[in-house]
Structure formats: structure tokens, C-alpha cells
Amino acid sequence: MYFALLDIIDAVNNFMLRGGPVLWLIAWLLLIKWSLIFERIWYLNTAHKANVKSTLAAWGARTDTKSWSAHQIRTMMISKISLDVRNTLPIIEVLVTICPLLGLIGTVTGMIEVFFVMAVSGGGDAKSMAGGVSKATIPTMAGMVGAISGIFASNYLRAKVDRDMDLLEDRMPLSN
């Protein structure tokens, strides 16, 4: 078990070294992005349900649900829940957008290494250029994988939040 773990760590380290320093930046970005995604999923399944339950209980306990002030209170209650549940969604979407851009930076830095090797060796040493090509393609792939997976997760969260907010509005009738 211990040696298998060491082999996995060694393989990941070799992969990260082949991808260059930009790959570490992408890895940290992905760690932050997925931490925020899992936090939102956890929030939706725990605290959000409790907040919705207490808001529905407070609305149900009201005797006046017809007046203008009652409508404003309802809007305020829904807005508060909406702000809480949508808290980190824009940050997640920005991180998803940044992923391919960092991959592009990795491509550029890897190609700079290829051009440097070509300038030094006269352009004929394919083995020397392979390291630069690797540093160009691995970050691109990592950025795209991070963006695509993040798009799916972000769309899932956005749809779940929108559905939950629609259900909350439906469960808070405007009149007795």
C-alpha cells in the first residue's frame, strides 16, 4: 500500500514537471474551483434547506400576505435566500473561464522553450524540442479539462439554484 502511494505521488510529480510551472498554477486553480463547487453542493444540501424551511415557516406564520408591505417582506425573504445560495457561483464561473486562459499561457511558455531549443540547436534536434512541446500541450490539456468539467459543474449548480428558488417562490403564496 505504501509503495503504491509513493508510485502515484511520483507519477503525479513527473507529470507536473513535464507540464512546467504553469501546470502548478492550473492545479491550484482547479483545487480552489472544486473546493468552491463542493462547498456549494454541501451548502445546498444542508444549510440552504434549513434556511428555506425557516423562511417558509416565517411566511406561513404571517397573517397578512395580501398587503403591499407583505409583498415587500416576501421579496426581501426570497432575495436573502437567493443571495446566500448564489454566493460563490460568480467566482466559480470566473475560475472556469480562467482555466483555458492559463492553459494558453502554458502553451506559449512551452513554445518559447521549443523556439529557444531551435535557435540553439539549429532546429534539427527533435529530442530537445520534445520537452518544450510537452510543456506546451500538457497545460493546454489540463486547462481545457478543468474548464469543461467546471462548465458541467457550474451549469448543474446554476440549474439547481434556479430550480430551488422557483420552488421557494411557488411555496410562498402572495395571498391567503
In angstroms, rounded to a whole number, what is the distance separating the alpha carbons of residues 103 and 147? 10
Pick from 32, 27, 36, 31: nearest CA to 103: 27
pLDDT confidence band for 122 (50 / 70 / 90): confident
Confidence category of residue 123, pLDDT binned at 50, 70, 90: low
Whether residue 140 is predicted with pLDDT greater than 60 in this model: the reply is yes
The pTM assigned to this predicted structure is 0.85
CA nearest 90: which of 38, 149, 152, 157?
157
pLDDT in tens, 46-99: 999 999 999 999 999 988 888 999 999 999 999 999 999 999 999 999 999 999
For residue 21, what pLDDT is reported?
Answer: 87
Q: Do 144 and 103 meet the contact criterion of CB atoms below 8 Å apart? A: yes
pLDDT for the residue numbered 59: 93
**What is the reported pLDDT for 115?**
81
* Mean pLDDT over each residue of the chain, to the nearest integer: 90
Tens-place pLDDT, residues 83-93:
999 999 999 99
In our burial notation (b when 16+ CB lie closer than 10 A, e otherwise), range 121-141 reads eeeeeeebbeebebbbbbbbe
Distance (Å, whole) CA 129 – CA 95: 31
User: What HEC string does 23-70 produce?
Assistant: HHHHHHHHHHHHHHHHHHHHHHHCHHHHHHHHHHHHHHCCCCCCCHHH
Side-chain-side CA neighbours of residue 59 (13 Å)? 26
